[in-house]
Amino acid sequence: MKNRRVLVVDDSVFARKNLARIVETFGGQVAGEAGDGMTAITEYDRTNPDIVLMDITMPQMEGIEAAEKIVGQHPEARIVMVSSVGYQENIVAALQRGARHFVQKPVKPEVLYEVIKYVLGEDGAVASAAGAGA
């Protein structure tokens, strides 16, 4: 994932810093940050990242809705949901609405790294919007 540009979306500054640190540890770049779903959509348009790390529970607009809107406008968008709430309905809803994978908090850096590589197709596989799952 060297030099891949990542948009980090989470309403928690603490969580954004943590995710940014993991991304940079593995050679990625933080293209932008957003604290809610609405801002995520505009930041996606502005930064055109390689991949988005998106929280689910956020004020104003939740992550699943934001993911759906981004994928609606950018079908090629690669979005990984990163949330502490990891029950099946949430995961299925996220995948059905355009996310490509799901990682549960607390995030293990090596797990996130493998998921990002997988979604970016850097591990030899290509994650499709409908088929890749947690």
Partner 1 sequence: MKMELIQPFINAADAVLAQGLQSPMSIGNLSMEQEAYRRKGVAALVAITGDIEGRIVFDLDPETALRVASHFAGGELPESDDLVRETVCELANQVTGNAVTTLNDQGFHFRVHPPVLHTSEHGPTNTEDTEALVICCETDRGNVFMNIALRYNVQLPGAQTAAAAK
Q: Write out the residues near partner 1 by the rule CB under 8 A.
A: 11-15, 17-18, 21, 57-59, 83-89, 104-106, 108
Nearer to partner 1, 47 or 57 (CB): 57
**Least distance CB 123 / partner 1 (angstroms):** 25
State the Cα–Cα distance between residues 122 and 55, nearest whole angstrom. Answer: 23
Nearest 10 degrees: Cα torsion 35, 36, 38, 42? 30
Q: Where are the beta strands (DSSP E) in 35-110?
A: 51-54, 79-83, 101-104
Please identify, using beta-carbon distances, which residue of 74 and 105 lies nearer to partner 1.
105
Q: Judged by CB, which is closer to partner 1: 12, or 29?
A: 12
Nearer to partner 1, 34 or 120 (CB): 34
Q: How far is the CB of 40 from partner 1 (least distance, A)?
A: 15
C-beta of 5: minimal distance to partner 1 in Å?
Answer: 24
CA angle 17, 75, 29 (to 5 degrees): 25
Both tokens assigned to 78: 């690669």
Least Cβ distance, residue 111 to partner 1 (angstroms): 12
Residues 118/122/126/128 CA torsion (nearest 10 deg): 50
